[in-house]
Amino acid sequence: MRLNEVTISRAILEEQHRALIDLLEVDAAVIGGGPSGLTCAALLGKRGIRCALIEKKLSIGGGMWGGGMMFPRIVVQEEARRLLDRFGVACREFEEGYYVAKSVETVAKLTAAACDAGVEFFNLVTVEDVMVRGDGRVGGLVINWTPVDMAGLHVDPLTIACTCTVDATGHDATIARMIERKGGNIQVKGESFMWAERAESRILEHTKEVYPGLFVAGMAANAVAGECRMGPIFGGMLLSGERAAELVAEALDR
């Protein structure tokens, strides 16, 4: 078989353009491909919800890739182990109630589960604004290529319409802050000191709809609430992603 470079290029362009056009209107858009975002997107996809995951970086996985200080291991507590089991992630009990898993395997299997569930990934894409109309609800996202944003180029963006948006952008709570800056009725308090027990125990109550159409998950939820950070224990991240998916499904009546 002879390979044709133009055919290869056409295949990439046609397939990605088709995916983008098909997903200009979605039920749910998850912003951020870290542990909470991946979990949320995978579970939404499994419910048959039309979902796109937008990640500003080249790679998916967020802070989970590096584990703790670049040691590629993560810890989850007893309550979250069932999610590792659900996604087929191997783990072992270190001490009673503490389970250790490989960070690379965890990211890979969460990503694969989302792909298998029909989630479409848009990496190297930045959300630079949100659409809020007369009903006061987040109804869409303004997107551009991350390199365009990094270079400060004046290139007009495109838009995606979505019924529900999940801010899973981590410590920065990027989407929530956008709305706050433009006068939306939301306050991002910013995360507090490291306190794993408190942060992990309260993250689910902070995972909620914080503005009409906008849900927060993972560290973005704790940042909005002014809650503590937790370091390289990721059970709360997974559980928060699961909770966000439940809330979005309820909002969509699925």
Per the annotation, binding residues for Fe cation are: 156, 171
CA nearest 162: which of 28, 12, 13?
28
Question: What is the phi/psi pair of residue 144, to 5°?
Answer: -150, 170
- Using CA atoms, how far apart are residues 35 and 222, in angstroms rounded to an integer? 14
Going by the annotation, the residues of the binding site for NAD(+) are: 36, 55-56, 63, 127, 154-156, 219
Outline where DSSP puts E strands in the chain. Answer: 25-31, 51-55, 73-77, 91-95, 98-102, 120-123, 125-132, 138-145, 158-167, 209-211, 214-216
Q: Label the pairing between strands 214-216 and 158-167.
A: parallel
Going by the annotation, the residues of the binding site for glycine are: 229
Give kind and range of the element (H or E) at residue 157: none
Outline where DSSP puts E strands in 116-177. Answer: 120-123, 125-132, 138-145, 158-167
Percentages (nearest 5) of helix, strand, coil residues in the chain: 45, 25, 30
Both tokens of 244, joined, read 């966000």
Task: Give me the residues paired with residue 31 across strands.
Answer: 54, 167
Going by the annotation, the residues of the binding site are: 36, 55-56, 63, 127, 154-156, 171, 219, 229
